[in-house]
Structure 1
Amino acid sequence: MPSLSTRNPSAKCYGDRFIPDRSAMDMDVAHYLLTEGKKDKENAAASPSKEAYRRLLAEKLLNNRTRILAFRNKPPEPENVFAADTVSSHQAKPAKQRRYIPQSAERTLDAPDLVDDYYLNLMDWGSSNVLSIALGDTMYLWDASSGSTSELVTVEEDNGPITSVSWAPDGRHLAIGLNSSDIQLWDTSSSRLLRTLKGVHESRVGSLAWNNNILTTGGMDGRIVNNDVRIRDHAVQTYQGHSQEVCGLKWSGSGQQLASGGNDNLLHIWDVSMASSMPSAGRNQWLHRLEDHTAAVKALAWCPFQSNLLATGGGGSDRCIKFWNTHTGACLNSVDTGSQVCSLLWNKNERELLSSHGFTQNQLTLWKYPSMVKMAELTGHTSRVLFMAQSPDGCTVASASADETLRFWNVFGTPEVAKPAPKASHTGMLWLGSAPPDQTPCPSRMSGMEKSIRKYAEDPTKSVMEILHVEEIPAKHILKRWTNDQGTYYPNMHSTFYLKAMDVEAFDHTYVGLDALMVSGAPFAERRDGLGFEDRMACLVPGTLPGNGEIACVGKQRNCRKMH
């Protein structure tokens, strides 16, 4: 049976089973056939049945999403898994722009003959935007608006050097403490010496603080004296509690409490009603005597946004910044800064605190309150930064150092981006009601006292909240205590008065944090405890509310004026 195929043994085979004989191939034709077929396949329209099958398969397997791997076409936009209305209702808040804090001084001035003494207070910045600085026996004034410098006075050598300086609230009158124990009062607008206060202290006057027309002085003799500059016998009251030099004095924003620090490592909180014209031995005048610091307490700063919060700084062997509740005397926090604390300033626009220091870095440190995280450290001084002063707008800080330089820092921002004061168009209500001695007020009775409501508006130039007049308050009702609207009756009172603040726009029980009441311009009542509007207030000065009297409320809402 013949075979199906025969093999010619003499025939030669070129190539193998994978690579054909190239000599018989037309490469151009082969390339054309390969590429054209692929293009036709890619561009060929699928039949309706195949397209329907593809869509059905994609829907079942991929939930109607497109191909998993798509190398040629741009992948489609992902589906939005949230509904449009849900997304719009949960828009993220815009990120708060971080404030730029310059690390170098904006301006540097020479300050020759600046006395290198930790216990003195030789610089202050007045409300008229004029900086005063004492260099040896001479007082200089630097006008921040024009940049001009003038010499106010050079004291006699027997009286010098100048040991303290403080501007009156009007920004025109300047108090100067001397090494001879005298205090001079100057009218800077006319460069005229108005009067000299003598016999107040036995030695140098290292600290000064104004409270309206009262100039409080602290001396090396440990005495603190209230001087009424309007009268001839100016020394009207005295606080006694320090055994060594008083190196720090600060009145609270309400003018009801005075903080004093001394070289005896003591911090005292004084109540304005506790001063005495004739202090007696063994009688404690202070509200609180705080002994936590282990070095001299010079740096004092009352918080601008929490009236009973005081920051204090200790000297070289203490190095701590401490925070106090001045109503209770409790120490809220203590931070070891690592070096001598020379001065403290609060930021009026943010919750921040600035401290100046001595050896080793001689820096200014900006802290975030209340976390006390360091935000910035400003260096440039080559010796301890003894004094700091803040511009009236709260943005610029001047620092004076023992290296005899005066530097200006934009550490608290610029006036253009500082937080503006509340608009004057906002209005509110303050309710004031009373009850006979045999009755206790209740919320329902409070809500019915519409005639006691007086509107107020906000004005950035004022610091108190004024009420036009009160119609429903009888004369000779003594305001002894202020309590909350739950009603607590004090039997020693002719009548109990209650205050409630309400927001007109929201009309909810939004309480305003009051510090004190002023009647006819005089201190009347002060909050004794707590932080809120509902805490009780105690009488400062015995007095009566007239039928058409004027009440000023001093507190957190300070930007208020009369309605017209």
Structure 2
Amino acid sequence: MAIIMAMFGGSSISYSRSKGQPRCPLREKYLQKKNSELSDRFIPMRSAMDFSYAHYMLTTEGNKIKESEGEPSAYQKVLAEALNMNRTRILAFRKKPPKPVDFFPPENSSTSVHSTKSKPQRHIPQKSERTLDAPDIVDDFYLNGLDWGCNNVVSIALGNRVYLWDASDSSTSELVTVDDEIGPVTSVSWAPDGQHLAIGLNNSEIQVWDSVSNRKVRTLIGCHSGRVGSLAWKNDHILTTGGMDGQIVNNDVRIPSHVVGTYRGHRLEVCGLKWSTSGQHLASGGNDNLVHIWDRSMASSNSPRQWLHRLEDHNAAVKAMSWCPFQSNLLATGGGEGDGTIKFWNSHTGACLNSVVTGSQVSALLWSKNDRELLSSHGSPENQLTLWKYPSMVKMAELSEHTSRVLHMAQSPNGCTVASAAADERLRFWNVFGVSKVPKSAASGRNNMPFSHLSLVR
């Protein structure tokens, strides 16, 4: 009697026979063929299985190992003849597969399949290539008294004076000395033109000097009610200033009424200011442990919430900040004593992408212009400069020649050399970022003189 059964994978045809009815091999073979045509998967039939043969194969494979040295037993011979063991086996175990070819030889092997050699690790000098005395430098974490302009001239504030050091010929000159009533100098910043230098003072004034003619061209007053500890040029004529009063002011140095915008959000002194490369966003850090990201269009807005993002993850004052040169929306910030972390932010969303514990006060951050590297300067306990590989943040080098906390850092125009000023009254120059990728004609002003120990003060 034929029975049609519905299966999961398709239809299957089988038949049942009454007890004592002889088997019909041809019919079984026919039905087995029809089942394979109707079904999308193989469904075995018990009536088509040879259990004696299967039992023999399962019980004798293990015995072959034991009796491989002798003759098989008489029972095994008779059984093999009765079951026709000359049939071809399906799914039989074979020899082990060959070992895979090793395309990567051991490290101690002198031969290699690939002829291309890995890039050698860059040598990072552990000693500064030049040191200058910097007497009377103000040991104040919140100030910004060092900058390196595109004219390859370093400006540094030492007490009531501002000195210039020309890296192209190693010459030193004094630009300005202010009176005790308005000093000391609390911040310096070169304009993008490389000729004009902005100077923030302890009495809340800002002066703009022409470094070529050595004359003062502008004094900005009424911006702040306290010292001006941070400066940032947006372009050749917009100077942004941050004061002890927590205010951030945009000043147009071309017009008499120079205040053209104000950002309000910090409760304490603004000690860090950086414009993004595009000039669209401004980052500020304060002694209130806050980081703000501002849109340039928000200055003087009547909205009670002017900032684009307020970032509250740091646990100490934030002075160190730097925009990434190869990823425009990436901002790095560093916390002071009590925080000691470097944090990375997405300026579009305000999300904290990573936080790295450094173990010491972070006073400045600089991105490499040639590689994906970040340099940080620190206070106690090591007073060191640390070079990090981004984004893994693996330490590549630690430079520890300073004997007191590092206060400021500045980067040369070609991006290779870094100047660091510390409370030990030393200004050191480090060849930390490797060889410049700028053509020699564009980097002709770079100082290549050997190590020397001089004084900025004559």
TM-score if structure 1 supplies the norm length? 0.57
The one-character-per-residue Cα deviations of 1:290-332 (angstroms, maximum 9, x if unpaired) are 0000000000000000000000000010000000000000000
1:275 is matched with which residue: 299, 319, 331?
A: 299
2:190 aligned to which of 151, 162, 167: 167
Contact 2:248 2:263 survives alignment (8 Å): yes
Q: 1:98: how far off?
A: 1.6
Match status 1:224 vs 2:245:
no
The CA distance in 2 between the partners of 1:366 and 1:317, in whole Å, is 21
Query: Are 2:274 and 1:253 aligned?
Result: no
Letter in 2 for 1:163: T
Letter in 2 for 1:200: C
Return the letter of the residue paired with 1:247.
C
Q: How far did residue 92 of structure 1 move?
A: 4.0
Distance 1:143 1:335 in 2: 36
What residue is the counterpart of 2:373 in the other structure? 352
Deviations 1:406-448 (A, max 9, x none): 000000113xxx3347xxxxxxxxxxxxxxxxxxxxxxxxxxx
Q: Secondary structure at the match of 1:141?
A: strand
Correspondence for 1:192? 215
1:419 to 437, 440, 450: 437
Deviation sequence 1:120-159 (CA, Å, 0-9, x none): 0000000000000000000000000000000000001101
Alignment of 1:510-521 (within 5 A): none
SS in 2 for 1:250: strand
The one-letter amino acid of 1:419's match is K
In the alignment, which residue of structure 1 is the partner of 2:424? 403
Kindly state the Cα deviation for residue 265 of structure 1 after the two structures are TM-superposed. Answer: 0.2
Paired amino acid for 1:199:
G
- 1:98-137 correspondence to structure 2 within 5 Å: 98-137=121-160
Q: Check whether the contact 2:414–2:438 (CA below 8 A) recurs between aligned residues.
A: no
Whole-Å Cα distance in 2 between the matches of residues 360 and 91 of structure 1?
Answer: 46
State the match for 1:529 in structure 2: none
For 1:215 and 1:193, locate their aligned partners in 2 and report how far apart those are by CA, in whole Å: 16
Q: Please tell me whether the aligned partners of residues 335 and 342 of structure 2 are also in contact (alpha carbons under 8 angstroms).
A: yes
1:238 maps onto 2:254 in alignment: no
What percent of counterpart residues are identical?
Answer: 73
Which structure 2 residues correspond to residues 62-141 of structure 1 after superposition, within 5 A? 91-141=114-164
Residues of 2 paired with 1:173 and 1:419: CA distance? Answer: 27
Equivalent of 2:384, from 336, 360, 363? 363
2:217 & 2:117 partners in 1: Cα distance? 55
Q: Once the two structures are superposed, what CA deviation does each residue of 1:357-384 show, in whole Å capped at 9, x if it has no partner?
A: 0001100000000000000000110000
Inter-partner Cα distance in structure 1 for 2:160 and 2:299:
33
Find the counterpart in structure 2 of residue 284 from structure 1: 305
Equivalent residue number for residue 151 of structure 1: 174
Alpha-carbon offset, residue 93 of structure 1: 2.8
Structure 2's unaligned 5+ residue stretches are: 1-101, 104-112, 444-458
Q: Please, which of 263, 286, 290 is the counterpart of residue 287 of structure 2?
A: 263
Computed over aligned residues only, the root mean square deviation of the Cα atoms, in angstroms, reads 1.7
Which residue, out of 181, 201, 215, partners 1:178? 201
Matching residue's letter, 2:157: A
Q: Distance in 1 between matches of 2:205 and 2:311?
A: 29
User: For residue 353 of structure 2, what is the aligned residue in structure 1?
Assistant: 332
User: Distance in 1 between the 2:438 and 2:214 partners?
Assistant: 34
Matches of 1:300 and 1:378 in 2, distance apart? 20
Count matched residues. 331
SS at match of 1:286: coil
Cα deviation code 1:153-197 (max 9, x no counterpart): 000110100000000001000000000100000000000100100
In structure 1, how many angstroms separate the alpha carbons of the residues matched to 2:118 and 2:215? Answer: 53
State the AA in 2 paired with 1:98: Q
| TM superposition shift of 1:234 | 0.4
Distance 1:419 1:329 in 2: 33
Shift of 1:205: 0.2
- Structure 1 counterpart of 2:41: none
Distance in 2 between residues matched to 1:92 and 1:202, nearest whole Å = 66
| 1:91 Cα offset (Å) | 4.0
Q: What SS class does the counterpart of residue 131 from structure 1 fall into? A: strand
Q: Which structure ranks higher in relative contact order (CA pairs < 8 Å, sequence separation ≥ 6)?
A: 2
Q: What is the TM-score with the length of structure 2 in the denominator? A: 0.71
CA distance in 1, matches of 2:331, 2:189: 20
Q: Which of 379, 385, 400 is the equivalent residue of 2:400? A: 379
Deviation at 1:112, TM superposition (A): 0.3
